[in-house]
Structure 1
Amino acid sequence: MSFGFLGIQFGFALQNANTSRIFETLGGTEIALYWLAAPVTGLVVQPIIGYLSDRTWSPTWGRRRPFFMIGAVLASLALILMPNSSVLWMAVGMLWIMDTSINISMEPFRALVGDLLPSEQRTTGFAAQTFFIGIGAVVASMLPWMFTNWFGVDNTAPAGEIPDSVKWSFYMGAFAFFTAVLWTVIKTKEYPPHDMAAFAAEKAQTSFMHGVQETLSGIVTMPKTMRQLAVVQFFSWFALFSLWIYTTKAVTQHVYGTSDPISALYNEGADWVGVCFAVYNGVSALAALLLPLLARVTNRKITHLICLCCGGIGLISTYFISDPNLLLISMVGVGVAWSSILSMPYAILAGALPAHKMGFYMGVFNFFIVIPQIVAGSVLGFFTEKLFDGQAIYTLIVGGCAMIISGFLTLLVQDSD
């Protein structure tokens, strides 16, 4: 049931590691502002998909799997088109389409684990998702570097053009996204609602306005645990967004000493960022195997605290590094945090949700992922250009501090089924 996340993460990893590079190559300067496309689409799409998937049932396709396939088809097409953008506005538009499509596939995967696993298996279930996310992201993040160093594909191009190594990476990502999700659709069995009469009555109420009313009421009446986790999520995802937006700029400036996107040195640094992202995702895959053990020895809250502090220290440590190879050590801490962010909040949340609204509340929970990203996209550009004089390395330090704060706020969360 979790294997499809391997493909989904191909899309996310390629997006996270290469979108800023594509924007800069096409002449973009307001990078954080362009990135707002991603969280805004998640804010709108995920609650809608959660609401609809809760009210969907087909004897052939099940409840969540129709949305897996729709998202996979659209995302694969967007991955093919994104690196062929010829102007900046096209690249920004493709980011909107790509992120919308990825969200259509991703949200029901979270609900599927909550649907099919009992409470005592959910930590392991979400950790399994994290494992496949890590594996997919390792390969996807390294694809431009692999195409350049293993197959001799050019990683530079004339001004205003995307390098071939990036294009072929996105084509490979489209294939992996579609086939991995297709595997989950074919191999996973879903079970019908326990009370078909009650389900049919609820389904009969399905409409756009009813969905809006449900979303608004769901925000007001969300479980206490969900409200507490919202604050934790704000600071951790604020930190992640600073990582995704500004690592390329920070590394090329601070470590490689260049800001010229058409120079060979810049593209070498941008490729190395992909390797760094591959390392943190690889660490997250391995850490996912250990998180259930650590949670049993301590608890889920302490586990999350430890992991987020590791991530915060990893981000802050980038300031003290001048050797690109040493950045991989910083990424180990980030990977430990990423592993926990993808599993522990969901394992804690699933036990606090009513079973018949699992998809809906998982979608609403996405608000607390995308709102901090919108805030980050709105303010980090000002911080970087005005307060930090364009030095993005200081933005990563801000992200590291936010991640440590998030860890300690986890101690205030009520974790009970």
Structure 2
Amino acid sequence: MKKKPLLSFWQLWNMSFGYIGIQFGFALQNSNLSRIFETLGAKQDEIPALWIAAPLSGLIIQPIIGYMSDRTWNRLGRRKPYFLTGAILASSALLILPNSPALWVAAGMLWMLDASINITMEPMRAFVGDMLSDEQRTQGFAMQTFFIGAASIVGSMLPYLITNIAGISNTAPEGIIPPSVRFAFYTGGIIYICAVLWTIFTVKEYSPEEQAAFEGHETEAAAKEGDELILNTKKYYTSGFIYLIAGIIATIIIYYGSWDKALYILSIGVGAYGILKLVTAQFYVGGSRTGLVEIIYDMDNMPGAMKQLSLITVLTWFALFAMWIYSTSAITSTKYNMKVDKAVVDTMRSNIQSVLSRPAIADSTKKQFETLQEDIKEIDKYRPNDNPVRISVNLSNHYADSTNTVFSATNKMELKRVQKEYNDGADWVGVLNSVYNGVAALIAFLLPVIARRMTRVKTHFVCLLLGGLGFISIYFFGSPKLLIISMIGIGIAWAGLLTFPYAILSSVVPQKKMGVYMGMFNYFVVIPQILAAAILGLLVRTAFNGNSIYALVLGGISMIIAGILMLFVKDEKDKV
């Protein structure tokens, strides 16, 4: 069996350069899509439903694209046709999306953008496993981590830079997306296609014959394909019915319990997996050995280390989604002074009740004041005896408005102070996000060196431990500036989780199924996203008494548990 040649630094650079484009797409999407939806008339409670494209696209598309790319070889190569297809579609979506004339068009373009990013991204992760020997894979994924961190910073800041450097306006008439956002998306579309083309033209893939010579004949269950597959159809029928019934029962419980709608994705997904197992067994009996049969077989026969990494990944990404959902709320409410005298809140309550009790009230006004009333109810529920008492930015924005006559000039000055505190805090959260991405980009090159001394498993344990402590420290640090220390720990964990799980995974899965298993691994990134959106809101409202800072503490505990579990991972091709 031949050994893959070691690649130079610049060869590793070229191989992962396309990730700049992918991350620009993600950064522009994550930073601006809610703003675009709201501009086009989406209501606040509709935005999460519009964002559901991301997890659904990843769940469905990545394993299919992975399976297809494992079996592709043409003039462009094995993975490159998918790089190019995804890049063309994603760049087109980035150019069209900011010109959407209506909300439904923007929502459709988001689905196209996210699906296209997935088409590019999954084969690009498998590409590292294809091109590098085991001893260089940590370096290869670390290079991707560097590009992810660096591109995240620039991509997120792009509208700001376009406004402040190019002088392009960041405001527009109602219903029109600001020019700065449009030009940011145009720039991102160009960068996306150019970065991916750079990787396509500067890196030559190994042919199937060369890969076979490098890897030899793999015999573990996960490597079997075609006529080698042996399915216990009785077991598949039984487990299929169990999954189907469990999914139906869970869906009914979610419906009658009025639980978060995001949980439907999980319950329906469990039921759908049961149906797929039943269909797979039927296809197998009918003589089929490829396509769906092979994908479901592969899912059931994941290597042992991949199963271990799946739980670790769920716990780790749960922590990150907790931060992305609640960091602004947690930091502004605890590190910045958003409190006013209780008498101000009493006046707000009286005014809201007065307006809502009018016999004739416009629907828009009614909805506006009902939202304000919910904020007052939150104060009454969680902070009834506080004085001064923390208020929401929604209340301060409404009553500090120059056209509002409820409060005196002195009280309005106090409410404007609360506005400024919130906006200063929200701006600082943006800075903190840049800090952890910057740390990840810088430390990425150190991780392979440390891993050679400590092993990948132990190095990732340390990364996750530091990240978990970083999350928990947010609760204890009083000064916003000290949160930079927290973000350093989180940045180290971010670098680790973008590097080590994929490096280990690429070492334990069969080479000829690198794509499909990389795609399946994405399930364990999507599942915690759904769980975080559904469960954390319930916990904040009940167990945490409205204090979102505890969601970050819970995220830290989750990440530390993931780190401990990491110590039990077998970083080798071995059944656990």
Residue 131 of structure 1: aligned partner = 146
Residue 240 of structure 1: aligned partner = 320
Does structure 1 residue 75 correspond to structure 2 residue 75? no
- Partners of 1:151 and 1:317 in 2: CA distance: 39
Structure 1 residue 135: Cα displacement: 1.6
- Partners of 2:179 and 2:426 in 1: CA distance: 14
Residue 376 of structure 2: aligned partner = none
Query: What residue identity is the alignment partner of 2:31?
Result: A
Does structure 1 residue 404 correspond to structure 2 residue 560? yes
- Partners of 2:63 and 2:193 in 1: CA distance: 23
Structure 1 residue 82: Cα displacement: 3.9
Residue 4 of structure 1: aligned partner = 18
Does structure 1 residue 297 correspond to structure 2 residue 431? no
Which residues of structure 1 form unaligned runs of 5+?
A: none
Does structure 1 residue 381 correspond to structure 2 residue 537? yes
Does structure 1 residue 221 correspond to structure 2 residue 221? no
Structure 1 residue 149: Cα displacement: 4.2
Q: Kindly report the root-mean-square deviation, in angstroms, between the aligned alpha carbons of the 2 structures.
A: 3.2
Query: What residue identity is the alignment partner of 2:456?
Result: R
Structure 1 residue 372: Cα displacement: 1.8
Q: 2:203 aligns with which of 188, 204, 209?
A: 188
Query: What residue identity is the alignment partner of 1:231?
Result: L
Does structure 1 residue 259 correspond to structure 2 residue 393? yes
Residue 50 of structure 1: aligned partner = 66
Structure 1 residue 170: Cα displacement: 2.7
Query: What residue identity is the alignment partner of 2:327?
Result: T
TM-score, with normalisation over the residues of structure 2?
A: 0.64
Q: 1:212 aligns with which of 292, 296, 300?
A: 292
Relative distance call for 1:213 and 1:221 in structure 2 (3 A) is same
- Partners of 1:347 and 1:316 in 2: CA distance: 28
Structure 1 residue 237: Cα displacement: 1.2
Q: Deviations over 1:347-369 (max 9, x none)?
A: 11111111111111111111112
- Partners of 2:136 and 2:211 in 1: CA distance: 26
Relative distance call for 1:405 and 1:170 in structure 2 (3 A) is farther
- Partners of 1:10 and 1:316 in 2: CA distance: 30
Identity %: 54
Residue 335 of structure 1: aligned partner = 491
Residue 161 of structure 2: aligned partner = 146
Residue 526 of structure 2: aligned partner = 370
Structure 1 residue 222: Cα displacement: 0.8
Which residues of structure 2 form unaligned runs of 5+?
A: 1-14, 218-224, 227-282, 339-391, 398-418
CA contact (8 A) 1:7 1:178 kept: yes
- Partners of 2:545 and 2:178 in 1: CA distance: 29
Q: 2:440 aligns with which of 280, 284, 289?
A: 284
- Partners of 2:502 and 2:395 in 1: CA distance: 39
Relative distance call for 1:379 and 1:30 in structure 2 (3 A) is farther
Q: What does 1:97-112 align with in structure 2 at a 5 Å threshold?
A: 97-112=112-127
CA contact (8 A) 1:40 1:374 kept: no
Structure 1 stretch 247-256 or stretch 396-405: which is displaced more?
Answer: 247-256
Q: Deviations over 1:360-415 (max 9, x none)?
A: 11111111121222222322333344554555433223222222221111111111
Structure 1 residue 165: Cα displacement: 4.0
Query: What residue identity is the alignment partner of 1:57?
Result: W
Structure 1 residue 288: Cα displacement: 0.7
> Matched residue of 2:76: which SS?
coil
Residue 510 of structure 2: aligned partner = 354
Relative distance call for 1:27 and 1:107 in structure 2 (3 A) is same
Query: What residue identity is the alignment partner of 2:319?
Result: A
> Matched residue of 1:289: which SS?
coil
CA contact (8 A) 1:17 1:277 kept: no
- Partners of 2:319 and 2:35 in 1: CA distance: 19
TM-score, with normalisation over the residues of structure 1?
A: 0.87
Residue 28 of structure 1: aligned partner = 44
Does structure 1 residue 230 correspond to structure 2 residue 310? yes
- Partners of 2:548 and 2:166 in 1: CA distance: 32
Relative distance call for 1:154 and 1:309 in structure 2 (3 A) is farther
Relative distance call for 1:94 and 1:209 in structure 2 (3 A) is farther
Residue 56 of structure 2: aligned partner = 40
Query: What residue identity is the alignment partner of 1:10?
Result: F
CA contact (8 A) 1:302 1:411 kept: yes
- Partners of 2:50 and 2:332 in 1: CA distance: 20
- Partners of 1:350 and 1:302 in 2: CA distance: 18
- Partners of 2:335 and 2:101 in 1: CA distance: 29
Query: What residue identity is the alignment partner of 2:23?
Result: Q
Relative distance call for 1:327 and 1:162 in structure 2 (3 A) is farther
Structure 1 stretch 67-76 or stretch 77-86: which is displaced more?
Answer: 77-86
Relative distance call for 1:238 and 1:160 in structure 2 (3 A) is farther
Structure 1 stretch 17-26 or stretch 326-335: which is displaced more?
Answer: 17-26
The count of aligned residue pairs is 411
- Partners of 2:199 and 2:541 in 1: CA distance: 44
- Partners of 1:29 and 1:133 in 2: CA distance: 30
Larger radius of gyration: 2
Relative distance call for 1:145 and 1:190 in structure 2 (3 A) is same
- Partners of 2:521 and 2:395 in 1: CA distance: 37
Residue 17 of structure 1: aligned partner = 31
